[in-house]
Amino acid sequence: MIVVSFVVAAGAGIAVLLIGPEGDLMSRVLVTTLIVGGFSVGALSCLALWARPAHSFGVAGAGVNAASAVVALISVWAEQGSDDFWRILSRLLVSGLIISAAWALAALMLLLSQRHRPIIRIGLAATLVALSVTTALAVAGVWWEAIADAEIYPRALGTLGILSALGVVVVPVLALLLRDSPAISVPQDFPADIANHLLKTARRRGVSVAELVAPVLDESIGSSNDHGRADQGPNGTTPTLEA
């Protein structure tokens, strides 16, 4: 659905650029294309958590991006409204942009939630906390002027924003450089429930995942070899049925 809406919006934008009349309509269609495209990227970033332990967070983030896109589209296409309507709509729009962007970043960071290096887990937790507080402060400043006018507000918001950006950059780089040891890693293409079960069982027994599954693999290989020998004759040849 997200991809289809993006394709439709992109097609409309191209059509307006090629054959549409210039003016207000063209501007609105192009802005609509940008809105649908931008929030589609945010929603897809959240849905990257699909089939992972934090998938519910990703689904909620996709919903937040969709709701924010609706608010943005209303602000583009609405023709009339009171001053209070436009003031509330503009605040909803800015809040939606902030929350959607932060949610998408948090979802991408949570892709590292199954890593077990202490420095990565601590850095991930600290980054998510800083990102959450930064988002809350930014949204509060949008809705309450008293908070935005406070002397400490821009300093606190800037400091937390820098810490959030630092974590968003540094933690993934550390995750690339510091791989989990074989004792606590499972191939990424494993289903999440099977991977979690293997990891928990291996830690409980104090062995690696490879050592945990080795007896099963050895038994399977041995069974296959026994069947192969049984299919061969006494001279190592495969018996045939005679008519």
Summarize pLDDT for 181-200 with one digit per residue, the tens.
554 555 666 677 777 777 77
Asked if pLDDT for residue 180 goes beyond 70, the answer is no
Q: Tokens for 24?
A: 């207000």
Q: What is the span of the domain harbouring residue 221?
A: 181-227
**Residue 21 burial class via C-beta count within 10 angstroms: exposed 0-12, middle 13-18, buried 19 and up:** exposed
For the chain, give the percent of residues with pLDDT over 90: 33
Residues 127 and 60 in one domain: no
Residue that is last in its domain, among 65, 86, 113: 113
From its phi and psi, is residue 120 left (phi > 0), alpha (psi between -120 and 50) or beta?
alpha
Task: State residue 148's pLDDT score.
Answer: 85
Residues 147 and 219 in one domain: no
Residues 138 and 223 in one domain: no
pLDDT level of residue 140 (50, 70, 90 thresholds): very high
Residues 148 and 93 in one domain: no
Task: State residue 126's pLDDT score.
Answer: 95
| Averaged pLDDT of the chain | 79
The stretch 15-31 carries a mean pLDDT of 71
Query: How many domains does one find in the chain?
Result: 3
